[in-house]
Amino acid sequence: MADIYEALVKIVDKDYISTSKEERYLYGRDPGLMPPHEPDYVVMPAKVEEVQEIVRLANREKIPIVPKGGGLSLTGLVIPQKGGILLDMKRMGKIIEVNEKGSYVIVEGGTTHGALKSYLQKHYPHLRHSIPDSPPIATVVANAVIHGQGRLTQQHGFNSDMVCGLEVVLPTGEVCKIGSCAVSQYWFSKGPPMPDMSSLFFGWFGTTGIITRMALKLYPCKKLRDVMLFLTDKADLVPDIILKLGRTEMMEDVVVSAQPIPLRFKGNFYILAFITGDTEEEIEFKKKMAWNTLWEYFESKDGGFVSLVSEMKAPMMSMPSKETTKFADVSKGGGFEYSGPIAPIEKYPVFVKKLADLAEKYNLFYASSARLIDGGHCMMFSFSYTFNRAEPDSMVRAKKALDEAAEFALENGGVMWKPNIDEQKMMMARMDPNTLNLMKKIKQLLDPNGIMNPGNWEVS
């Protein structure tokens, strides 16, 4: 242990290395429900060369490395299951370059979404990126690594789909560029027209390398933004309603909320359609399109648009979404977690019923937020339950509900988003054996010593 600490001190300023019980305690757990496990070292590198040297050291000593961004997946993806070195990447937080005409930004591996949002607003107010609902400390890279979603996901897919170049420290210590940046000074493509190797690093939860730089596509930031609220009490209609909104190709984002309190929410489905425009005319036109496309539900008295005053709109439109975070305090217990399958949109009615059934079975408070992905190819549906950290029993009940929700989602054709290690096992048990074997081969090839975030995607 002492030797490894001494070796780390030669790589990183010792002020940014800790073996103290306090840092190990905190970095050994996340706000969700997965059991804690402490790292032996918490290290904060400042540059790619330091990351390389740490990886080489870990290979020599055969000790695990877990790269961490904001640590907000809630599913324990950066809990060091086998100890070792936890790399907190947030000292690598620079915004390196904005290529305005190429519409992309290059950030370091620990840049937060908050910092990027603020930077673009100040220096490039006509450009934006897809901001997730998670708090601003979530990092751009880690969010892409877990295939996160954001405000532009309805239009452009998962946030990982918006990546256009990577610099990665491989598990064996080499620095590797992925995408157009491997052959050009421009970072406009993560692969095409070459073989797309970027997918070796997304969805793998840091088991295949550490992303130290990433280019992300930027999109026009229109001058005006608004939100419409469509209300229905018929879950069966929700899939068609959100698909129709998506197929107008005029919505920035489409999100459905369901929760039992306040009482006015119970039994109702709140469909939020966000729109943007450069002029009032553009906004009004898009609103009219939304009205027209959903008019039949108004006529059949199955739903209608709700008038919103600006005070009501502001929290709905905030980016990132403070309202989402507030859910953690609904039970005054400091905790919530959600199981978030990516699933066919048609499954919304059965998922939302299961959400309420599990809440009743386990005596939990629930909520759900479903987001249309990529114009309507699928949705993210969150089975969200609160728990009280001061009441261990409520944590056990919430975990059981989430496990059941995951099983249910998989049985109904869903695929778990940012799965915890239990859910990873559920998915691998169902996975095509050849696919599983391919995953195993890829991991063995890239990480021969098995040092990268071990415990995750462990194919037996």
Q: Name the residues that contact other proteins, by CB under 8 A.
A: 15-16, 18, 20-23, 25-27, 31, 42, 44, 70-72, 88, 90-91, 112-115, 117-119, 121-122, 135-137, 322-323, 325-326, 328-329, 332-336, 388-390
Query: Which one, 21 or 264, has the nearer CB to other proteins?
Result: 21
Taking the complex as a whole, how short is the minimal distance between the CB of residue 87 and other proteins, in angstroms? Answer: 13
The least distance separating other proteins from the CB of residue 425, rounded to whole angstroms, comes to 26
Residue whose CB is less far from other proteins, 28 or 246: 28
We find the least distance from the C-beta atom of residue 396 to other proteins, in angstroms, to be 16
Q: How far is the CB of 218 from other proteins (least distance, A)?
A: 17
If the CB atoms of residues 16 and 305 are measured against other proteins, the closer one turns out to be 16
Q: Of the two residues 230 and 336, which places its CB atom closer to other proteins in the complex? A: 336
Nearer to other proteins, 388 or 449 (CB): 388
Q: How far is the CB of 419 from other proteins (least distance, A)?
A: 21
Q: How far is the CB of 96 from other proteins (least distance, A)?
A: 17
* Nearer of residues 84 and 157 to other proteins, judged by Cβ: 84
Q: Which is nearer to other proteins, 123 or 377 (CB)?
A: 123
CB 180, min distance to other proteins, A = 29
Report, in Å, the least distance between residue 329 CB and other proteins: 5
Nearer to other proteins, 99 or 325 (CB): 325
CB of 28 to other proteins, least distance (A): 11
Specify the residue, 26 or 459, whose C-beta has the smaller distance to other proteins. 26
Report the 3 state secondary structure along the chain.
CHHHHHHHHHHCCHHHEECCHHHHHHHCCCCCCCCCCCCCEEECCCCHHHHHHHHHHHHHHCCCEEEECCCCCCCCCCCCCCCCEEEEHHHCCCEEEEECCCCEEEEECCCEHHHHHHHHHHHCCCEECCCCCCCCCCEHHHHHHCCCCCCCHHHHCCHHHHEEEEEEECCCCCEEEECHHHCCCCCCCCCCCCCCCHHHCCCCCCCCCEEEEEEEECEECCCEEEEEEEEECCHHHHHHHHHHHHHCCCCCEEEEEECCCCHHHCCCEEEEEEEEECCHHHHHHHHHHHHHHHHHHHHCCCEEEECCCHHHHHHHHCCCCHHHHHHHHCCCCEEEEEEEEEECHHHHHHHHHHHHHHHHHHCCCEEEEEEEECCCCEEEECEEEEEECCCHHHHHHHHHHHHHHHHHHHHCCCEEECCCHHHHHHHHHHCCHHHHHHHHHHHHHHCCCCCECCCCCCCC
- The residues, ordered by sequence, that sit 6+ positions from 280 with a Cβ below 8 Å of its Cβ are 224
